[in-house]
Amino acid sequence: MFEVGFLGGGNMARALAGGLAKKMPPEKIHVIDRHPEKLEKLAADFGVTVHEALGEWVTKLDLIVLAVKPQGMKAALEPVVSLLNPKGAALSIAAGIEAQVLRGWLGGYPVMRAMPNTPAMVGCGTTGFWAPADISSDAVAQAKTVLAAAGDVVEMDDEAGIDLVGAIPGSGPAYVFRFMEALERAGTRRGLSPEAAKALALGTVYGAAVLARESGEPFSRLRENVTSKGGTTAKALEVMNARDIDEMMDEAVEAALKRTAEMKALFR
């Protein structure tokens, strides 16, 4: 069994480490963070090995997961370089920092990239994953094992796909939550209690997602199945289509991609 370490113990690292602790010996999962309270909770909840300082334990790692915020990544990596396992690899889950930049900061160490989303915290994540061609098959398998501990993993053909993952499933939960807010408000404006409106909005989105996943049908077919000609759903969709929801979402994704490009430029 391989050993994995998380550089950073924030929410996403916690989600991955917690899920992974159900699939492998937790003592082989290491986490370092500058906040002792986070480490104490990780150890108590999952039994993982925690560290307040770098040391020889880093050299034992087959895979090191870079889970530091982008703005603090370069400084966090500087003291790590001399401790890295020469036969290991790194997996970054940070947005906006390209693999070649990270590889340079790590003295040429092999780097893979992934972009999880926040539903990973409840085991329902959707993560985009990309590995350069020169990464070993063992390192790729280890990275996929870590990421799959918190949900689905979708492989990207190239690194540019990671940017799109950030703009769709990465930011996507916020898009869905915003829709849920709007549906909830539409209910309260028409007399529903806040509790009832929230429950109806939540149940609608959850049920639709489960149905879509289990049926395997195209989204368009599922929509058609709910829409009777001239009925209430058809009238509601006419309003949404008149506002051009497709164009709105396209512009939203493009805005997210533009911001990603700006972030990448800062770290080059």
Confidence of residue 268 (pLDDT cuts 50, 70, 90): confident
Domain boundary among 156, 186, 209: 156
| Residue owning tokens 């807010």 | 181
Say how many domains are in the chain: 2
To the nearest whole percent, how much of the chain has pLDDT over 90?
99
Residues 179 and 47 in one domain: no
| Structural domain includes residue 66 | yes
Residues 176 and 139 in one domain: no
| Structural domain includes residue 182 | yes
In tens, the pLDDT along 118-163 reads 999 999 999 999 999 999 999 999 999 999 999 999 999 999 999 9
Distance in angstroms (rounded) separating the CA atoms of residues 188 and 198: 9
DSSP, residue by residue, 223-256: HHHH--TTSHHHHHHHHHHHTTHHHHHHHHHHHH
| Residue pair 112/132 in contact by the 8 Å Cβ criterion | yes
Residues 109 and 16 in one domain: yes
Residues 35 and 118 in one domain: yes
| Structural domain includes residue 165 | no
- At 191 the pLDDT is 98
- H helices present in the chain, as ranges: 11-20, 36-46, 70-77, 99-105, 137-148, 160-165, 172-189, 194-215, 219-226, 232-242, 245-267
Residues 32 and 126 in one domain: yes
Containing structural domain, residue 74? 4-156
In tens, the pLDDT along 155-208 reads 999 999 999 999 999 999 999 999 999 999 999 999 999 999 999 999 999 999
- At 134 the pLDDT is 92
Residues 146 and 185 in one domain: no
Distance in angstroms (rounded) separating the CA atoms of residues 93 and 71: 13
Distance in angstroms (rounded) separating the CA atoms of residues 56 and 83: 7
Residues 13 and 137 in one domain: yes
Domain boundary among 108, 124, 156: 156
Q: What CATH number has the domain bearing residue 224?
A: 1.10.3730.10
Q: What CATH number has the domain bearing residue 91?
A: 3.40.50.720
Residues 66 and 150 in one domain: yes
In tens, the pLDDT along 247-258 reads 999 999 999 999
Bridge partner residues of 5 (DSSP) = 30, 64
| Residue pair 76/54 in contact by the 8 Å Cβ criterion | no
In tens, the pLDDT along 49-60 reads 999 999 999 999
Q: Which two tokens stand for residue 208?
A: 């639709």
Confidence of residue 82 (pLDDT cuts 50, 70, 90): very high
Domain boundary among 128, 156, 184: 156
Confidence of residue 8 (pLDDT cuts 50, 70, 90): very high
